[in-house]
Structure 1
Amino acid sequence: MLMPHPAVLRRLVDEYQALTKTAGAAGAESATRSTREQDLAYTLCVSTGTRDVVDALETARRWLAAAAVPPEQQTGPGTHVLV
């Protein structure tokens, strides 16, 4: 299975969580999710090979944790740690 680049996956997770947090604060129900939120949920599922956004987020977090390199192991200019 192809795996998304960690930076892309991080952006998807962050944007999805921001949208769901905003929707939750506004009292929106899951049936009235925004088109963007639905698109992000679908993309996360496809990217992680899952069928449920909760499973997709769990898988994405696990992959992101595995992709993170501790700062002491970084070498060279321009290296970044995904948090």
Structure 2
Amino acid sequence: MLMAHPALLRELVGEYEALQAVQTERGNREPSGPMIDVACALCISTGTCDVDAALIAAYHQLPGAQVHEDSLLAL
């Protein structure tokens, strides 16, 4: 399987988290267009079909990641 470059993953995760923070701050429950675009890019980059799984996969693929919580992967 092809793996996304760590710099790309880091950028996508950062952008998604920033958009999510803005959305939460504004009290919106529906994702905005840019957030959907970043979520799709994350899913494609990690080979997943769900943004939560994509974020977990991205965290695991980033260099120096020390992610120990992977209980969501078993769902």
The TM-score with structure 2 as length reference comes to 0.81
Name which of 38, 41, 51 aligns with 1:40. 38
Q: Which residue of 2 aligns with 1:60?
A: 58
How does 1:65-80 map onto structure 2 within 5 Å? 67-68=63-64
Aligned length: 64
1:8 and 2:8 aligned: yes
Tell me how far 1:34 sits from its aligned partner: 1.4
**What 5-or-longer segments of structure 2 have no aligned partner?**
65-75
Instruction: Please provide the CA RMSD for this pair.
Output: 0.8
Tell me how far 1:14 sits from its aligned partner: 0.1
CA–CA distance in structure 2, aligned partners of residues 7 and 47 of structure 1: 12
CA–CA distance in structure 2, aligned partners of residues 28 and 63 of structure 1: 30
**What 5-or-longer segments of structure 1 have no aligned partner?**
69-83
Tell me how far 1:16 sits from its aligned partner: 0.3
Amino acid paired to 1:50: T
> After TM superposition, where is structure 1 displaced by more than 3 Å over at least 4 residues in a row?
none
CA–CA distance in structure 2, aligned partners of residues 29 and 22 of structure 1: 11
The TM-score with structure 1 as length reference comes to 0.73
Amino acid paired to 2:21: K
The percentage of aligned residue pairs carrying the same residue is 47
